[in-house]
Structure formats: C-alpha cells, structure tokens
Structure 1
C-alpha cells in the first residue's frame, strides 16, 4: 500500500469533485465532512432523467431533483441523464427536446437560486442513436450558451471514428460498468483486464477528458443461475450481520431460508454476489489512467456522494487517488 501511494505522487493534482445522484439533495453529516475534508467546491448533480412516456412514447422528464440544502458554497453542474431509447426515436423533435431540457434546468435553478456555468449530458449513445444524439448536443450548446460536457464510455473512446465525438467543451470518461452483470464471479463494475483493452486508445482520443471513478457497490441477485435483479445499498458488512444469509466465498452470500430484506423477497438458496470497489482498486485505476493519458485531467469525479458509499473507505482515499495523476 505504501508503494502504491508513493508511486502516485505528482504536482498539479486534479481537483476532487462528486456526482450527486439522489432525487433529494440533502447532505448527511458524513457527506458534509467528506466535502469539507477534501476541499470539494464542485458537484455534478443529476437534475432529472429523460425517458419515454409508456403510452405516447414521447420524451418525458423523470424524477426531477428537489434541493433541501443550501448549495451556495458549491459550483453546481446540472446533469441530465438521457435513456438511449429516447435518442433511438426516428421521429424525435430534437430542437423541441433541447428547449424543454434547458427550460426545466432553468426552472430548477431559478427556484433554488442557483447560478450555473455548465451543463452535462449523460447518455450511452450507440451507432443507431448517434445522429440524433449529436444533433441534440448541438442544439443544447446553441440554445443554452453554456459550457457543455458529456459523459463518455470506454467503447466510445476506442471506436470514436465510428461513434463520433459530441461537440462539447470536454468529456468525462466513466471508468466503470465495464463488464456484464452475470451469475459468474467477475466484477461488472471494474475489471483491470477489460480496461486494459481500452486504455491504449486514450492518447488518441481528440477530446479533453476528466475521469469519473466508482465508489458504489451493489449485490447481484441470482436464482437458479439466472440474474433476477440488482440490489443497491448492500455490501459485505450488511450481509455479514444478517443471520438470513451465509457467506460462501469471497464474493457470494447464500440465503439460509426464504426471507425479506429491504422489501425484496429472497428464496432459500438464492445467491447475492457483492460487487464493490476497494481502495486498492481505486488507486490502480488512478495509476492506469495516469499512465495512459495524453493530458492530465483537471478533475476526478467520484460516483457518487452517498453516506453508504463513503463509509467503505478510509478518510484520505480521495487524496490518495488524485495523487496518482
């Protein structure tokens, strides 16, 4: 651990920022302490999702944010998550969608007295949705007159000539959700082996990138060798103290008997596979990204600010990670 840390020391370190992904923005005491201890002044806040109305199949905003906290001391970047199926619509009125998106962002900001300089669009666009998505980005840029950033996935970096590059000021590479959610023992959130297939492409990518790193965990719920769901807010310590479950190896727990936990029904012999990110994983990601970056990032954004996630790490983990750059 000491070796890893000493190998990670450089000047001009990137700033620490966080994503905030809950629908009510209210900081717990732990969250406040982490923000203060790490001198965090920038938060990327999920304002709303855009999905499709189940009957009309027209775009609608989903679960807009409610601010219950004074955020005057933070630079707030509104983030809008767009489901890819919206961009796959053949008859999509892109200009109308862009206008409505900006209008709702402005309404939320006005209500909460938030001044903002940047919008971030989060969408895992594909070859089939690419044209609509790129046009949408152009409209947002034109209509908002704000700085614009977009989330970028690993496959969009490696195959950028096919997937194209959105016309934004900079991108944020989401360095997680790399594998398939499956009943095997692999971790779908992060795999050094999978990331190695993409890292060499970073230096050729023509857009400036910051990096988003994962600090969340979840449990994959498996029944009869089939994944039946993802269970958030579950980790080793939670399951260790639950007498309804027994640990059977490094990542799997088994239901001793049928039971309910957090409102979810588990049958006897159901499996829960814990997928989480250790401190060593985070520092390994930092080192690998630093080695393969053409240009140092300005920010490392951790996903996401939540007391449940923060309790899994020692106090100075975020400083340790940014020291890698």
Structure 2
C-alpha cells in the first residue's frame, strides 16, 4: 500500500508541476512609451500583465557615467506591472575611476524621478550589463551598492558565457537572473545566424543546470539585415524582413535569406551600393519551439516567466497569424 501511495503522490506532483507554465512578458525598448492598437491586442490575447521597460542607458561621456535617452510616457501604463530596466554599457564598469556607490545612488534617483513624474509604482528593477572578467569586480560592487540603497527586488540579465563560466565571471547578488537566450554568435559574413544557432547554444546551455541563481528566460522575436561589403560587416539594418528588402531595394537572391544589391540606393538610413550583400537574420516559430524544448531539458526549474524581446508591431506581426502564439510557445515548458 505504501508503495502505491508513493507512486500516486509522485504522479500527482508531476501533474501539478506540468501546469505551472511560464507567464508571458515583454521587453519594451523604445524611448517613447506608446502602444499601438495592434500591440495592445497582442498583449491582451496572450494575457500579459508585466512589461520590462528600458528606462535609460548609462554610458561614459567625458569619462563620466551619465544616464542617456530616458523613456518618456505618452500614455499611462496602469494596466501592467512595470519593471524598470537600466542598460549599462560595459565601458562604464571597465573605467577604473568609476565610483560605484555614487553610480548606484544616481541610478536609483533617476528611476525614482521617472516613476514620480509618471505616477508609477514598482517593486523590482533590472540591470542589463554584459560584464566581463575585467569588469567583474566593479559590476559586482555596483550591485552590492544598489542592495544597500534600496529595498526593491533586483534582477539582472545573464548571458550564455556568464552561465558557462560563472566561476570566473561571477554571479551577481540579485534576486533573480534573466537568461538572455539570443545573440549567440559573432555578426559576420558567414551563413550562421548570430541571433540564434542551436549548435552554438548547445555549447553553453548545459551549464545552466549548475547555475546558482533562479533564472527566468528572455527569447528573441526580432530580426535584422547584416549589411556586407566585400565580405565585411558594414552595419545592421534593424527590423526588416526578406519581403520588405525585396520590395524596397533591387536585389537578386544568392541563397536562403541572402541577397545582393543590384542598384545603388539610400534605404533604411544607409547607403547600399551595387554588389553589397544583405544577410537576413531572424527567428522562426520553429526556432522558438526548439529553444523552449532545449531549455526544458537543461533548466532545473521551470522559469517564472519568459520575456520576449522586444515589443514592437514589426516584430509581433511575424507571428500574428497564430492566435495566442506566445502562450503556446510557453506551454512547451
């Protein structure tokens, strides 16, 4: 009897855990907060209750770390739980003269000002910084300074290299991490997709099972064109699709998602010369399903939420032919 009771309890626990699917959240990465009707419809359809809003960047200007491009609100954000995100360039943490305690105070003061003006109440802030071995000490000290200055919860973005080499790069003293499961490779002229490549991901993600911090996950829904000239990267053309490129620019296909410009033109704010190539990189529905399948195998605990990067009509329309798409992707956990 005890044997069967134990089996029943185990099955019951498995059934309960299978119902705990991650919530759908989004990053909002524009300087002006204003949602289109289509974006609002997608948020409602996927039962989104939380938005991670980029509040401002911190970068060096004349050797001083200052906040740049703060968000402005053209409408209220009352329908959502807001998590302010501060993006800090690694150059800030590499500066040996940076005063992390003062920087932490300025960070929190700027967040408070934005919240006060817009009557926003928050319980969590998130720090987004791709720190390295050289900037590890400064970044960790900055997080500790934030801890001393606020009672708010703190989360931090975690890159794949920081997962695999966490003993070397360190683990920040935050409440949760967000695994950034994208931008996995070098932006180059080869045929690899720098946003997502399963083979590249597999070299890193197995280490996630041993990462000593609770993790949520960020997944990509964006794409771009890699502008190449003489097999060298000139720059990125954000938020365009194959169809857009072929409509706006005279090209000939060189293969799957690669095009050669056949006539000089200024398009998307850049000069495209005849002979230049555009390598299109994007994330398909199948890619997202594959990501979730692999993460389910490697993560010890089901994430609390999946945060999609980023909330923009251009990105959303790629997947909008399927109702409740993001809820369905999350259900793969």
TM-score by length of 1: 0.95
- Contact 1:283-1:320 at 8 Å conserved across structures: no
Q: 2:22 aligns with which of 6, 14, 18?
A: 14
Partner secondary structure for residue 296 of structure 1: coil
Say whether 1:29 aligns with 2:54. no
Larger Rg: 2
Say whether 1:130 aligns with 2:136. yes
Say whether 1:226 aligns with 2:232. yes
* Correspondence for 1:75: 81
* Correspondence for 1:168: 174
Partner secondary structure for residue 268 of structure 1: coil
* Correspondence for 1:52: 60
Higher-helix-fraction structure? 2
* Correspondence for 1:40: 48
Please state how far the C-alpha of 1:316 moved relative to its aligned partner.
2.8
User: What is the Cα-based RMSD across aligned positions, in Å?
Assistant: 1.1
- Contact 2:249-2:261 at 8 Å conserved across structures: no
Question: Aligned ranges for residues 1-325 of structure 1 at < 5 Å?
Answer: 10-53=18-61, 56-313=62-319, 314-325=322-333
4+ long deviations beyond 3 Å? none
Partner Cα separation in structure 2 for residue 41 and residue 141 of structure 1:
26
Unpaired stretches in structure 2, ≥5 consecutive residues: 1-16
Partner secondary structure for residue 122 of structure 2: coil
Partner Cα separation in structure 2 for residue 305 and residue 89 of structure 1:
32
TM-score by length of 2: 0.93
Please state how far the C-alpha of 1:243 moved relative to its aligned partner.
4.7
Please state how far the C-alpha of 1:111 moved relative to its aligned partner.
0.5
Partner Cα separation in structure 2 for residue 32 and residue 247 of structure 1:
36
Partner Cα separation in structure 2 for residue 298 and residue 83 of structure 1:
27
Please state how far the C-alpha of 1:51 moved relative to its aligned partner.
0.4
Moved more, 247-256 or 276-285: 247-256
Deviation readout 1:293-319 (Å, 9 max, x if unpaired): 111100000000000000101333212
Partner Cα separation in structure 2 for residue 72 and residue 30 of structure 1:
18
